[in-house]
Each structure stands twice: as structure tokens, then as C-alpha cells.
Amino acid sequence: MTQELKINSSIEPTAKWVFSRFERMLAFGLGTGLSPIAPGTVGTLWAWAVFLLGSYFLSIESWLWLIACGSLLGCWVCGKVSEELGKKDYGGIVWDEILAFWLILAIVMPANLVTQTFAFALFRFFDAVKPGLIGVIDRHFKNLENQNSITPSSPKEILWRGFGIIVDDFAAAFFTLLIIVLSQTLLKYFS
């Protein structure tokens, strides 16, 4: 017997809806994804604040483990919540931005506020605009699915959808880190 999942593309998430289930809370970054303006940016700002506070208690190795485990869990969570909403990559799902920005900070820290702000601006640019390879990855996963199905997805499809939601943010993180390394190398070279 298959469990019925109510898939509704007309759901407009509310705080009550988000906080009624753990996977929704996580996918929406403890509510930051409910922001009516730039939820991805708000989620990334929240990630930055949590990282700075959490760094008093966690080592970089602990952050990397948290990011790895959060990514595995995030594939399921983001895929499941996306299916509930009936949308491939709903803007309020910000767990992907949170994980990707934590990865950036885990690699660049310790860094001064200018470098952190530069990393934030670069990441938001790459995540929002999705230039080049990032856009190719994003479009690839969005085009793979047929969201018009009225039957619930299999666990494999949910995980794959969640992976598609997360992977373009990790690509944005990669390019952010690449630009930071290149800019720091050039600064050292010309200093």
C-alpha cells in the first residue's frame, strides 16, 4: 500500500505550515525562507550569523562534518518539501544556501570582515544570477523532472530532486571560493 502524499502547487507556505514539521523547518532555514523579499539572501545572512556564533563552540572539522551530514539530510528534506509544494525549487527552501555558505566560511575562516563580506556578495551573485556552469547545472536538474505527475515520487526521485536543489548552490560556493583565492593571490602578487 502506498502512502498518499498531498501534492498541491497552490500552497503558499506560512509560519504555521513551516513550523509544523521538522523537514519544513530545516528546508526553510528555521523560517528565514519565509522572508517575502530575497529569502535566499536572508537565509545566507542567517547562515553567516550562525557560523560566527557557532565557531565559538565548533572546530572547522566539526563544521565540515555538519555540512556533510546536513547535505545528505538536505537531499531528502529539500526534495520532500519541494514535492509537498509542487514546485521544483521553491525560493523559500534555503537549506541549500545555508549549507553552501557554511562551506565557504569553513574554508576561508579565519578571515576579516571585508573578506567575509566579499564572500557573501560573490556567493549571492553566483547563486542568484547562476552564470555559466552554475546555470547549466540548475537547468539540467529542473528539466529532468516531470512535476505534472499527480502521484507521489519514489524515495529515489525525492533524493534526486533534493540533490538538484543543493548542487547548484555548491557550484556557486566553488566559484565563490575560486574568485576569493584568485583575488588573494593577485593581492599578494601585487603587494
Q: Does 177 fall in a domain? A: yes
Q: Residue 165 has which C-alpha cell? A: 536543489
Q: Does 2 fall in a domain? A: no
Q: Does 7 fall in a domain? A: no
Q: Does 172 fall in a domain? A: yes
Q: 26-80: per-residue pLDDT in tens?
A: 999 999 999 999 999 999 999 999 999 999 999 999 999 999 999 999 999 999 9
> Rounded to the nearest 10 degrees, what angle do helices 60-85 and 155-190 cross at?
140
Q: Does 4 fall in a domain? A: no
Report yes or no: 47 and 102 within 8 Å, Cβ to Cβ: yes
pTM for this one?
0.91
Q: Does 10 fall in a domain? A: no
Give the range of the structural domain holding residue 96, as residue numbers without chain letter: 15-190
Q: Does 93 fall in a domain? A: yes
Q: Residue 159 has which C-alpha cell? A: 533524493
Report yes or no: 102 and 43 within 8 Å, Cβ to Cβ: no
Q: 84-95: per-residue pLDDT in tens?
A: 998 888 999 999
Residue partners of 35: CB distance under 8 A and separation at least 6: 42, 43, 92
Domain count, the chain: 1
